[in-house]
């Protein structure tokens, strides 16, 4: 399983990773939270969850703001912020995909 996680593109800076028993996880807090958010996708697809397309887009904005303001060295993000914004982004992408898939199903059907 760890080998699979290592194939995911992530910077893996130990300071930006969550730690378990003093050891950093193989993914940073943001990437880990995004993966947790992606776990919502099967649920969204099975239960035909759709939403207005602006909602998943709005759910992506906090991650973009956090990531770019940190990259531009305007501020330093915390792991809690990375965790929350990553989770919002992952769930938002899951909702976006579910909405598009079910929209195509309705359009085709």
Q: What is the mean pLDDT of the chain?
A: 91
pLDDT for the residue 15: 86
- pLDDT tens-digit series, residues 14-26: 888 889 999 988 8
> Is pLDDT larger for residue 18 or for residue 85?
85
pLDDT for the residue 10: 79
**CA 103 to each of CA 54, 57, 58, 95: distance values in angstroms, whole numbers, following the listed order:** 15, 16, 19, 12
Alpha carbon distance 104, 93 (integer Å): 16
pLDDT of 2 above 70? no
pLDDT for the residue 4: 67
pLDDT for the residue 84: 97
């Amino acid at each position: 399983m760890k080998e699979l996680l290592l194939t995911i593109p992530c910077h893996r800076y130990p300071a930006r990773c969550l730690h378990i028993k003093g050891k950093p996880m193989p993914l940073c807090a943001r990437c880990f939270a995004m993966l947790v958010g992606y776990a919502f996708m099967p649920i969204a697809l099975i239960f035909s969850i759709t939403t207005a397309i602006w909602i998943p887009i709005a759910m992506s904005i906090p991650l973009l703001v956090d990531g770019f303001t940190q990259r531009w060295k305007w501020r330093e993000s915390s792991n809690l912020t990375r965790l929350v914004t990553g989770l919002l982004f992952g769930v938002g992408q899951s909702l976006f995909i579910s909405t598009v898939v079910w929209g195509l199903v309705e359009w085709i059907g």
